[in-house]
Chains A and B, each alone.
Chain A
Amino acid sequence: DAGITQSPRHKVTETGTPVTLRCHQTENHRYMYWYRQDPGHGLRLIHYSYGVKDTDKGEVSDGYSVSRSKTEDFLLTLESATSSQTSVYFCAITNRDGQSSSYEQYFGPGTRLTVT
């Protein structure tokens, strides 16, 4: 258990509204990631963070922004939600900054977002 929680777990919103998803970790890991999972596409990286206030884009970042003002929280914001952003969103961390020499990422339970 990597101590990752996501909130909300489910959300239905209307097109054009802003939405913020939260990822919270309890173990002070430096690297955090946001993915979306869609049928036929697997897991695709949206944005990632390599420290407080340090973020960068992934492969599908259009329409999304992120913020990380504290080590433990990584927020994903859909500026103006569209139906194409209906998806399951996963947060992940890697403990590369610890004693581990491995490269695994550990995932949260996911947020199912529906944009109507």
Chain B
Amino acid sequence: DQQVKQNSPSLSVQEGRISILNCDYTNSMFDYFLWYKKYPAEGPTFLISISSIKDKNEDGRFTVFLNKSAKHLSLHIVPSQPGDSAVYFCAAKKLRGGSNYKLTFGKGTLLTVNP
């Protein structure tokens, strides 16, 4: 049972335009969410996170939006750059329940930004 879903395996956008990556979750116990970026042959790197007490968090070109009622979050990249081309993973964590800070990851979305 996949608790964190990234339904788009890939996304292609033009340089300078907005990239929107989507993530859905099913477990209502999740209340902290993270996005990671992964280049080939490297480990994932943390990008941005959001707590469920917020509906938006912004860091430079990256903004994450959280819609708790829909159990949906999205990552917006504006403007997109060719260096943003990577696989993006959505992850979620249960803040309560002694989960030892484990993260549950989605399957990832490959973003390609074309010059």
Q: Which positions in A face B, CB cutoff 8 Å?
A: 4, 31, 33, 35, 40-45, 48, 50, 56, 58, 90, 92, 94, 96, 102-110
Contacts and interface: CB of A to CB of B under 8 A. Distances in A.
- In this complex, the interface size class of chain B, counting residues with CB under 8 Å from chain A, is 20 to 34
Interface stretch (B13-21, B44-52, B59-67, B74-82): B44-52
Interface in B66-115: 89, 91, 93, 95, 100-108
B102 A45 contact: yes
Main secondary structure of the interface of B (DSSP, over half): loop
Contacts of B101: 31, 94, 96, 103, 105
Contacts of B49: 102-104
Given A35-B105, A42-B89, 9 more contacts: A31-B101, A42-B108, A48-B100, A50-B100, A96-B101, A103-B32, A103-B49, A105-B101, A110-B43
Contact of B106 (A4, A31, A42, A106): A42
Contacts of A50: 100
Given A48-B100, A102-B49, A103-B49, A109 B42 contact: yes
Contacts of A107: 36, 43-45
16 contacts: A4-B43, A31-B101, A42-B108, A43-B44, A43-B89, A45-B103, A48-B100, A56-B100, A103-B34, A103-B49, A103-B93, A103-B101, A104-B49, A109-B42, A109-B43, A110-B42
B42 A106 contact: no
Which of A107, A108, A109 has the largest number of chain B CB atoms within 10 A?
A107
B41 interface: yes
Which of B49, B89, B100 has the largest number of chain A CB atoms within 10 A?
B100
Given A42-B105, A103-B93, A104-B34, A31 B46 contact: no
A89 to B, nearest CB: 10
B102 A48 contact: yes
Contacts of B104: 45
A45 B34 CA distance: 16
Contact of A43 (B41, B93, B95, B105): B105
Interface string B26-56: 0000001010100001111110010000000
